[in-house]
Structure 1
Amino acid sequence: MNAADSPTPAITMLRLLGGYQISQALFVAARAGLADQLLDGPIPLAELATATGLRPGPLARIVHALAGEGVFALDAGTGLVRLGPLGRTLASGLPESVRNIALMWMDSHYRAFGELWGTAETGRPAAEIAFGEPLFDWIGQDPARVRAFSAAMTDFARAIRHHSLDAVELDGARTVVDVGGADGTVLAVLAERYPHLRGTVFDLPHVVTAAPEVLRAHGVDDRITTAGGDFFVEVPPADSYLACFILHDWSDEKAGLILGNIHRAADATDARLILVETVLDEGAAPEVASLLDLTMLGVLTGRERTRPEWRDLLAASGFRLDRIRTTPGPMCVIEATRVP
C-alpha cells in the first residue's frame, strides 16, 4: 500500500470510534452460535439464518461487517458463509475459543463502559456506577451470571494464560493453594503435569462449586480438593501459592490484604508465591496489558502494574520478587519468596 492508498487520520479514527459496533456484532455472532454452525464447512446464508433463528437480512449485514474483520467470509455470488481466519475463536469448546468471554463481556463490561466518563470524573469504577454496586457483588447475585463468569474465565485461561501455564514451575512444591482458582481448571492442568502435587482450589463458596467436576474430569480429584472462603479474610495453609490473574483486580490496599493473608497462612518459612499477571510494557503483547488496564479502570478498582510496582507491592507484604518470566503470550509469570 502506497501513501495515497493509506487511510486518512479521520478515517482511521472513525474505525476506532466504530469499535462498539463490531463488539456488538461479535456478541450476536457468539450468542447465535454462528461459528458452531460453520465448523463442518460453508452453508448458505438462508440456512444459517434458519438454524440460528435470525432474519436473513440483518444476518447478512452482520456477517458482511465481520467478514471485514476476518471472522467470516461471505460469497456474494453463491450466498455461502464460511469461517474466516478468526472464526473458530467464536466456536464452543475449542482450545482457541473465547466465545464465553464475548457473552460475558457484553452482559457486564459493555454496559459498564457506558459510564466511563463517570469514572474519569469521580474515580469510581464505571461498573459500580452502572450497576449500583461492585461488579463481583452484582455477578454473585445471579447464579447464571456466576456460571457465565466462570465459563469466561475458563476461556481466558485457555486463550490468554495458556503459554504462561507452561512457564509455571512447581518442581519443589508439595502443597499448592490456587487463590481465586474459580472452577479449578488451572490447578487441574498443573496437577496433571506434577503427579506428586497436592493442593486446594480456593475461591468464594458459590464460585468453587464448579471445581469438583473439573477436577474429576482431569483425574486429579484424589489429590486436589476445594475450599470456599474469602481471600480477604484468610486462605488455607500450603508451602506454595498460585494466583492467576487475581491481584490485578484489586487496588494496592486490597491486593496487600490478600498477600498478607498468604504470608500468614504459609506453613513454610520460605514459601513460594507464583503470580500469573501482565507486566506493563513487558511481554510479547504489551498492547493487551494496556487494554486490560483500561478494563480494570472501568469495571474494578485494580490495575495492571509495572515491574517496579509489582516489586513494591510484594515487598510491602513480606515477599521478595525473585524474577519475572515473559511468555509467548501477554502474560508473565512472577515468582516471589516469602520473607520471614
Structure 2
Amino acid sequence: MTTPPTTAPTPAVSMLRLLGGFQISQALYVTARAGIADRLAAGPRTVPELTEGTGLRPELLRRLLRTLAAEGVFGYDETSDGVSLGALGHTLRTDVPESVRNVALMWMETHYRPFAGLWGTLHDGIPAAEAELGMPFFDWLAKDPAGVATFSGAMGDLMRAVRADALAALELDGVRTLVDIGGADGTALAELAVRNPQLRGTVFDLPHVVAAAPGLLRGRGVEDRIAAVGGDFFTAVPSGADCYLACFILHDWNDEQAARILGRIHEAAAPGARLFLVETVLGEGTPPEIATLLDLTMMGMLHGRERTRGDWRSLLGGADFRLDRIRETGGPMCVVEATRLPRPEDGHGPTT
C-alpha cells in the first residue's frame, strides 16, 4: 500500500507541497463529486470498478488516487490496482458524522475561481469573489437554488465537523426559548432541541435559505417545538426569546455590519437576555490555525473577518452587550457568551 513518507521533507519540498495545494483541493473535489469514498465504504475496489458509471477514465483516476494516497486520503496497491479508504478518506463519505463532502463540493464550486483574484483584493480591499462575480457573494448565491442547497449542506457539514464541540458546550439550563440567527436549514437548533426537551425556538434565516428547515426539523422529530421563519437579520429578528444564538454568522461581516446585526438582536431581546456566539477567536481554540485559514476565506469571499478576544469585547460592548466569558472547546470554535444590557429607551422591554 502507498503510505505517506516517513522522512522529514526539506524546506523547499514542504513549500512545494503548500504551493501545490490548489491541485490537491481539485483532486479532492473530483473524488467527492464522483462519490469515490462512498464506493469504498464496504471495502477496497479496483480502479476500473470505481470508474463504473462515473464517466471517469481509469488511467487518469489511477494517477489522481496515487496523489491522494500520499496525503492519507486513500490507500493504493500497485499490485492489485486496489483502492481503499485512508485515514482521512471517510470524511468524504456522505453517511458519517465527520463528513465534509459538501464542503469539498461547495468550496471548489464557489470559492476556488474567485481566489485567483486575491492579489487584487489586497490592493483595492474588494473581496475577490465580489470582483469575480460582479456582486456580493450571498447575492450571487441566492440566484442559484442548487447552489443554495450545496451551501446549506456545506454549512451542515461544518456544524458537525468544527462546531459540534461548541454546540455541546452551550449551557442552556433555564433557557425556554431560543432563536437561531442565520440558522440555515435548522441543523444546529434541531440538535440542541433533541438534547434539550424543554427547548422551544425559531430557526431564522433568509427565506430561500430557511426553506429547507421544515423538512429537516420533521426528520429530527422537533417540528412541534421549532419553527422556521424567513427574514433579513439586518432589518429585524424574531422577538420574545430569552436566548439568541448565532453560529458562525458574525464572522461573515465587517464590524459595522456585525454591529447592525447585534443591534437587531438587542431590539428583539429583553434586558438580561443571553446571547451565544459560536465563532473562532484568533489565537484560541484547537487547532488555532483553523481561525487564520477562515480569516483568509473571509478576505477572499466576503467583507468579514475572524476576531480576537479584544475585538469581540469591543464589538459586543458597542452594541450594549456585556461579554461574560469566552469558552474554548475541544475544537476550533469557541463559545462567546454575552448578556443584553438595558438602554434608557427600553422601558420594560419585550416579554419572554
Counterparts of 1:169 and 1:228, CA distance in 2 = 26
Counterparts of 1:220 and 1:43, CA distance in 2 = 40
* Residues 192-271 of structure 1 mapped to structure 2, 5 A cutoff: 192-237=194-239, 238-266=241-269, 268-271=270-273
Task: Write the letter of the residue equivalent to 2:138.
Answer: F
Alpha-carbon deviation of 1:12? 1.6
Report the equivalent of 1:289: 291
Counterparts of 1:285 and 1:315, CA distance in 2 = 27
Verify the 8 A CA contact 1:34 1:52 in the aligned structure 2: no
Report the equivalent of 1:299: 301
Counterparts of 1:179 and 1:93, CA distance in 2 = 27
Deviations 1:287-312 (A, max 9, x none): 00010000000000000000000000
Report the equivalent of 2:76: 74
Alpha-carbon deviation of 1:53? 2.4
Runs of 4+ in 1 over 6 A off after TM superposition: none
Alpha-carbon deviation of 1:51? 4.1
Counterparts of 1:10 and 1:296, CA distance in 2 = 28
Counterparts of 1:48 and 1:147, CA distance in 2 = 26
Task: Write the letter of the residue equivalent to 2:123.
Answer: E
Deviations 1:189-242 (A, max 9, x none): 101111111110000000001000111111111111011000000000111100
Q: Gapped runs of 5+ residues in structure 1?
A: none
Alpha-carbon deviation of 1:7? 2.6
Deviations 1:64-106 (A, max 9, x none): 0000010101100011110001000001131010000000000
Report the equivalent of 2:41: 39
Aligned partner of 1:163 among 158, 162, 165: 165
Is the partner of 1:11 in helix, strand or coil? helix
> Percent of counterpart pairs with the same letter?
64
Aligned partner of 2:193 among 173, 179, 191: 191
Task: Write the letter of the residue equivalent to 2:112.
Answer: Y
TM-score by length of 2: 0.94
Is the partner of 2:112 in helix, strand or coil? helix
Counterparts of 1:36 and 1:7, CA distance in 2 = 32
TM-score by length of 1: 0.97
Report the equivalent of 1:330: 332
What do you get for the CA RMSD once the two structures are aligned? Answer: 0.8
Alpha-carbon deviation of 1:260? 0.3
Counterparts of 2:24 and 2:311, CA distance in 1 = 34
Is the partner of 1:200 in helix, strand or coil? strand
The number of aligned residues is 335
